[in-house]
């Protein structure tokens, strides 16, 4: 209709890079899109580029929630003056007095059109909805949190500061649904039994330089003469893949060192949304032991009190693995299963979860295919979702494409080794 010239999309960090790819696949209109990543100056330049774009097209800026309120960036977003703002995973602004929520409210007050997207708009408390609707349309619940809370919540506990119950929830839901559209997975009859999603992760300039140097060194060594074997090529690929997972074995070092948290941060987003927010159980597969142990540490930090994670990897004795699986399947408070894919990718049942994240994968299609069946097997009553964490323009993409074609990389790597570097 020509009513919108500039769009601002605010999303979790791990989802920012997804939007340009979805636009590329589905947008039936002219557009130009910038993902606002990198340091503050780089983000501001990206906004300036959009503002100066000379051709008739929808101008789309995508930014993560944590950056919206930063000095200089917030003012630049105000200058961008988006006609429409989309909050993806809008539960990220559920806390009404958080800095990022306040910033998004102010930006929303400026915009003409607003949209929120969420699978879990209400996570722990019904009052989570207030801040999201304060952004979306203050006429629904007003713009005073305490009036809203007094209207719908029963306060108690120490100094009567805890929500101990609710009143008129039917009225709250009616108002909420007056401008909402809701569909469940069960109602989406055209959804396949297995849904595959890719989370694209961007390296920062320092990480990219590190990866490119390792890639060039690997190519030069392989191209320097001598016989090329599958083992030598796969060893080089392993080091590149370890780096996309955040780890690097430096010269003269015996153990990998954590040099990047990009994938771990993306995984933290998923744990918050699926486990903490939606109350679901989650399976996470990773290839390398340092990754598994880093994910175990991440789980301790991200999971709320009382919730537990279990793990199976090469060092876990075989006789201990059965009870670990049983605990995940039967204990409602054990919400995360972390598995090393070569060890836990076959022979066990993990149907207590319907969502599986691949932090990293190995090169063998048979192993990957087996791992898919840990949650998609007899006893599973839900549609299964698989989330693939892929660092852009790295070996991650090559591995994912090969596995999608049901190829075993180890069998073709000698003839096609240049394709991987």
pLDDT tens digits for range 128-165: 899 999 999 999 999 999 999 999 999 988 888 888 89
Q: Are residues 146 and 47 part of one domain?
A: yes
CATH number at residue 128: 3.40.50.10810
Identify the domain containing residue 87 by its residue range: 6-177
* pLDDT, position 123: 66
Instruction: Kindly state whether residue 309 falls inside one of the protein's structural domains.
Output: yes
Banded model confidence at residue 185, pLDDT cuts 50, 70, 90:
low
Statement: residue 298 has pLDDT above 90:
yes
Instruction: Kindly state whether residue 11 falls inside one of the protein's structural domains.
Output: yes
Instruction: Kindly state whether residue 406 falls inside one of the protein's structural domains.
Output: yes
Q: Are residues 273 and 161 part of one domain?
A: no
Instruction: Kindly state whether residue 246 falls inside one of the protein's structural domains.
Output: no
Q: Are residues 169 and 54 part of one domain?
A: yes
Instruction: Kindly state whether residue 339 falls inside one of the protein's structural domains.
Output: yes
Taking the model in full, what pTM does it have? 0.75
pLDDT tens digits for range 216-256: 988 888 887 777 888 888 888 899 999 999 999 876 767 88
Per DSSP, 68 falls in state T
Instruction: Kindly state whether residue 222 falls inside one of the protein's structural domains.
Output: no
Rounded to an integer, what distance in angstroms lies between the CA atom of residue 82 and that of residue 108? 9
Domain end residue (candidates: 115, 143, 177): 177
Statement: residue 189 has pLDDT above 70:
no
pLDDT tens digits for range 28-60: 999 999 999 888 899 999 999 999 999 999 999
Q: Are residues 271 and 412 part of one domain?
A: yes
Banded model confidence at residue 190, pLDDT cuts 50, 70, 90:
low
Beta strands in 72-215 (DSSP E): 84-88, 113-117, 153-156, 162-166, 194-201
Q: How far is CA 285 from CA 82, 218, 314, 375, 400, in A?
A: 39, 27, 13, 12, 14
* pLDDT, position 222: 84
Rounded to an integer, what distance in angstroms lies between the CA atom of residue 35 and that of residue 49? 11
Mean pLDDT of the chain: 90
For 63-75, what is the mean pLDDT? 93
Per DSSP, 415 falls in state T
What's the alpha-carbon Rg for the chain, to the nearest Å? 23
| pLDDT over 70 percentage in the chain | 97
Rounded to an integer, what distance in angstroms lies between the CA atom of residue 264 and that of residue 270? 10
């Amino acid at each position: 209709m020509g009513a919108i010239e500039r769009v601002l999309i605010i999303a979790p960090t791990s989802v920012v890079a997804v939007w340009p790819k979805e636009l590329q696949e589905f947008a039936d209109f002219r557009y130009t899109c910038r993902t606002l990543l990198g340091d503050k100056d780089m983000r501001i330049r990206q906004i300036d580029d959009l503002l100066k774009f000379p051709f008739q097209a929808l101008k789309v800026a995508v930014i993560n929630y944590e950056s919206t309120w930063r000095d200089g960036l917030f003012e630049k977003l105000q200058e961008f003056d988006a006609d429409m703002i989309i909050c993806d995973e809008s539960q990220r602004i559920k806390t009404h007095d958080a800095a990022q929520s306040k910033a998004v409210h102010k930006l929303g007050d400026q915009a003409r059109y607003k949209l929120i997207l969420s699978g879990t708009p209400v996570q722990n408390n019904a009052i989570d909805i207030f801040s999201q609707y304060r952004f979306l349309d203050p006429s629904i619940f007003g713009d005073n949190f305490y009036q809203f809370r007094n209207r719908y919540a029963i306060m108690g506990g120490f100094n009567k500061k805890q929500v101990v119950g609710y009143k008129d929830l039917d009225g709250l839901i009616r108002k909420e649904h007056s401008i909402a559209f809701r569909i469940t997975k069960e109602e989406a009859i055209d959804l396949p039994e297995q849904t595959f999603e890719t989370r694209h992760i961007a390296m920062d300039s320092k990480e990219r330089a590190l990866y490119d140097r390792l890639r060039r060194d690997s190519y030069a060594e392989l191209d320097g003469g001598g016989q090329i074997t599958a083992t030598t090529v796969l060893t080089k690929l392993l080091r590149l893949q370890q780096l996309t997972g955040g780890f690097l074995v430096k010269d003269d070092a015996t153990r990998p060192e954590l040099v990047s948290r990009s994938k771990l941060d993306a995984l933290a987003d998923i744990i918050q949304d699926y486990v903490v927010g939606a109350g679901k159980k989650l399976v996470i597969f990773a290839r390398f032991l340092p990754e598994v142990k880093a994910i175990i540490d991440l789980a301790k930090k991200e999971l709320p009190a009382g919730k537990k994670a279990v793990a199976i990897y090469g060092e876990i004795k075989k006789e201990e693995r059965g009870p670990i699986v049983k605990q995940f399947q039967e204990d409602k408070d054990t919400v995360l299963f972390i598995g090393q894919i070569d060890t836990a990718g076959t022979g066990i049942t993990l149907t207590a979860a319907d969502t599986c994240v691949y932090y990293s994968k190995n090169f063998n299609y048979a192993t990957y295919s087996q791992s898919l069946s840990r949650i998609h097997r007899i006893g599973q009553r839900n549609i299964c979702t698989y989330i693939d964490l892929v660092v852009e323009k790295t070996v991650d993409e090559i591995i994912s494409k090969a596995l999608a074609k049901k190829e075993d990389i180890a069998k073709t790597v000698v003839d096609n080794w240049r394709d991987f570097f």
